[in-house]
Amino acid sequence: MDEWIASFHILTLGPVASYIAKGTLFTVIVSTVAVLLSIVIGSVLALVRNYATAPQYRLFHFLAAAYIEVFRNTPLLLWIFIGVVFCPVPEFFGHPLFGLSSVETKMLFKASIALTLFTSSVVAEIIRGGLNSIPRGQFETAYTQGFGTIKTMVYIILPQAYRNVVPTLLSQIITTIKDSSFMANVATIELMSRVRKILSTANRFSGQDTINVSDVFVLYGTAAIIYFIINFSLSVAVRRMQAKRGAA
């Protein structure tokens, strides 16, 4: 019983609580930014893969398809490892920032790039699904109204495609929040890695001689509850949206 009280005591310590809270914030921000950037990259990839089929654009079509397939069929962790070795870091991220050391901000940048590249392949396929659901007539009508290819895409096709895939993109944020935990393998920035780090020295905070199984339950339990609250509220929002659309 004493062990459990000591374990819960860890959470009441101010620095520990704010360390975990900041980790949660990093998780949410990194995932949201990654998904937003992925929508930009993914849209370009999806458009090129879907519509650059004329012989003179064959190369771009092939490159977009290759990008999507390569990232979709290899694990995120591989890309994080590759990013750690190969990704150049701009000057801005070479300094201590957001309460992280300069080593950590560099890692944050590299791992976020890897996460974004990985996520954009998934988002590209989601947007492609949205593009494919648009009837051919929309293109033809736009052309007869004098729209060029680019204007047709930007003003007619893409807005409708985005509208169709908003729920799927929202649930992609859930997936990305979970995927961001893979950063725990290379740096202690987001929620998962911070909880893991606290656990490795839990006896110092709990005042016990050893790290006990109660520490594992309390710390990972807390992290699980935080992840669950964020992701479950998002998935409830997604379901509401889909139900509304189904009814409409």
> Of 56-64, 80-88, 99-107, 145-153, which segment contacts other proteins by CB under 8 A?
80-88
**Rounded distance between C-alpha atoms, residue 214 and residue 218, angstroms:** 6
Tokens encoding 56: 């003179």
- Using CB under 8 A as the binding rule, whether residue 75 contacts other proteins is answered as yes
Residue 235 makes CB contacts below 8 A (sequence gap 6+) with: 171, 174
**Between 9 and 178, CB nearer to other proteins:** 178
Residue 80 or residue 169: which is nearer to other proteins going by CB? Answer: 80
User: For residue 160, what is the enclosing H or E element?
Assistant: helix 158-179
Task: State how far the Cα of 47 lies from the Cα of 153, in Å rounded to an integer.
Answer: 9
CA distances from 159 to 119, 120, 152 (A): 21, 18, 10
- Considering the rule CB under 8 A, would residue 228 count as an interface residue with other proteins? yes
Pick out residues in 154-193 that bind other proteins (CB under 8 A).
174, 177-179, 181-182, 184-185, 192
218 is a site residue for other proteins (CB under 8 A)? no
Give me 34's structure tokens: 């990654």
227 binds other proteins (CB under 8 A): yes
Least distance in Å: CB of 118 to other proteins? 10
CA dist 224 to 6, 53, 177, 211, Å?
Answer: 20, 46, 12, 19
Considering the complex, state which of residue 141 and residue 233 has its C-beta at the smaller distance from other proteins.
233
Q: What is the DSSP string of 66-130?
A: HHHHHHHTS-HHHHHHHHHHH----GGGGS-BTTB-HHHHHHHHHHHHHHHHHHHHHHHHHHHHH
Indicate which single residue of 54, 85, 150, 247 sits in contact with other proteins (rule: CB under 8 A): 85
Q: How near is the Cβ of 155 to other proteins at its closest, in Å?
A: 27
Residue 63 or 82: which CB sits closer to other proteins? 82
* Among 5, 25, 70, 237, interactor with other proteins by CB under 8 A: 70
Candidate segments 15-23, 52-60, 147-155, 226-234, binder of other proteins by CB under 8 A:
226-234
**The pair of three-digit structure tokens given for residue 2, joined into one six-digit string:** 């004493």
To which residue do tokens 């791992």 refer? 111
| x/- map, 119-158, other proteins, by CB under 8 A | ----------------------------------------
Identity of the residue, 97 or 129, whose beta carbon is nearer to other proteins in the bound complex: 129
